[in-house]
Amino acid sequence: MSSLCPRDFRGYIFPAKKRLVAKKLTLSIQLRFIIFTPHYLMEKRQRIKLIAFLVSSMLMISFSFYAYQIIYTPNILLEREDRLFVIRSGTSYREVLRELGEGNYVNDMVSFGFLARLKGFDKAVQPGRYMLRSNTTNLAAINALMGGRREPIKVTFTNVRLLPELYDKITKNTGVTVEEFENAIDKFISTNQDGFTQQNILCMFIPNTYQVYYNVVPEDLVERMHGEYVRFWSEERKLQASAIGLTPIEVSILASIVQAETIKQDEAPKVAGLYINRLKRDIPLQADPTLVYAAGDFAIKRVLNEHKEIESPYNTYKYAGLPPGPINMPSISNIEAVLHYVKSNFIYMCAREDFSGYHNFAVNLHDHNINATKYQQALTIEMAKGAALKRKKK
């Protein structure tokens, strides 16, 4: 029995211990898993979140810095003077960018193009003249180009004889072509209620300097000029014209003749009074400048008898009354000279023999012939002097 007990004992006890140790080991592992695993996972997740936060922060800072540079850093005309930039009708977004780059308006085209698209400029290109300021930002330039600050242009027209001259001057700095403006004028003539025709439409244009936008529509430009005409012809001026027996258009036609007859503005009301006397007496105006206009040769210095035979409604030697239209675009001062003409009995005038630009006036043909003789004699002397001077130079 004693010999069997140890073996039995060993065979029984040792497996039990192993089972106990195994249980303790399993329990220890389970405890460690329960105790340590959540903290480990939590720390790992926190590290991932921290890394993600740092990366996103760096990206956000970089993006914010780049965005700040794109929007607020000067990028236009760096170290240059302010310049006008013109976008013509039909210009595409890509063409605008190319012209800005080639014209050295923009320093960094990448940042400008990025912000321009972000602002929608690629879909909002408007023709016009825009003032781009020196050392300004992309944002300021894009806002200006999108119509925030379109620069008006000045339209000036004076000293015009014929309509084509007017068309050239009035459309010179605009996006309107001469042909477009001419078509708009023709359309206006066919529908207006003010008595304007192809012959007298020049009377509608009051010579001055006006401001319009580059991308003005042709019809709007014509209407703008008509509006200026309506404003100029106030009730007071219309009453003054009516008192003379003339319409506003007729006043302008007469003013154009006065303007061609004298370069002395202080004499213009006196000349206007002479022609008004002739109109009232139904005497042909016999204004030499109208013959020059009828001949179509503005280089004519002296009107000859052959010019008086020209068949034209502008020949005021043949036909009494006013011609059908002005022979030039009369200035405001000459329109006022007609409205405030000097009352007199004069019906003749002749250039003074002193060549001062003034005229001698007469109430009858006899006195007029005396004045004409004085002028002719003085002119003959001056011509002789000129010929002698030429011979001397040779």
Q: Are strands 74-76 and 348-351 parallel, antiparallel or unpaired?
A: unpaired
Pull the structure tokens for residue 264.
């002395």
> For the chain, what are the domain ranges?
19-69, 74-148, 157-232, 235-393
Q: What angle do CA 283, 286, 290 make, to 5 degrees?
A: 130
Domain 74-148 -> CATH class: alpha beta
Q: What percent of the chain has a predicted confidence (pLDDT) above 70?
A: 84
Residues 174-182 have a mean pLDDT of 90
- Residue 305 in this model has a pLDDT that exceeds 60: yes
Q: Which long-range contacts (CB under 8 A, 24 or more apart) does 117-124 make?
A: 119/143, 119/146, 120/146, 121/93, 121/145, 121/146, 122/93, 123/93
104-113, 148-157, 310-319: least confident range: 148-157
How far apart CA 214 and CA 171 sit, in angstroms, is 9
- Residue 288 in this model has a pLDDT that exceeds 50: yes
Pull the structure tokens for residue 364.
């009858």
Cα R_g (the chain), whole angstroms? 46
CB atoms within 10 A of CB 243: 9
Tell the residue number behind the tokens 């001397």, with chain if given: 392
The most confident of the ranges 225-234, 305-314, 384-393 is 225-234
- Please indicate whether residue 249 or residue 6 has the higher confidence score (pLDDT): 249
Task: Decide: residue 338, CB within 10 A, 0-12 exposed, 13-18 middle, 19+ buried.
Answer: buried
Q: Are strands 83-87 and 128-132 parallel, antiparallel or unpaired?
A: antiparallel
- pLDDT tens column, 268-283: 999 999 999 999 999 9
- Please indicate whether residue 7 or residue 55 has the higher confidence score (pLDDT): 55
Name the amino acid, one letter, at 388: A
Residues 126-153 have a mean pLDDT of 84
> Which pLDDT band, with edges at 50, 70 and 90, does 267 fall under?
very high
pTM above 0.85, yes or no: no
Mean pLDDT of the chain: 86
- pLDDT tens column, 16-71: 555 655 565 565 655 555 444 555 566 667 777 767 766 776 666 655 656 667 77
Q: What percent of the chain has a predicted confidence (pLDDT) above 90?
A: 60
How far apart CA 293 and CA 161 sit, in angstroms, is 9
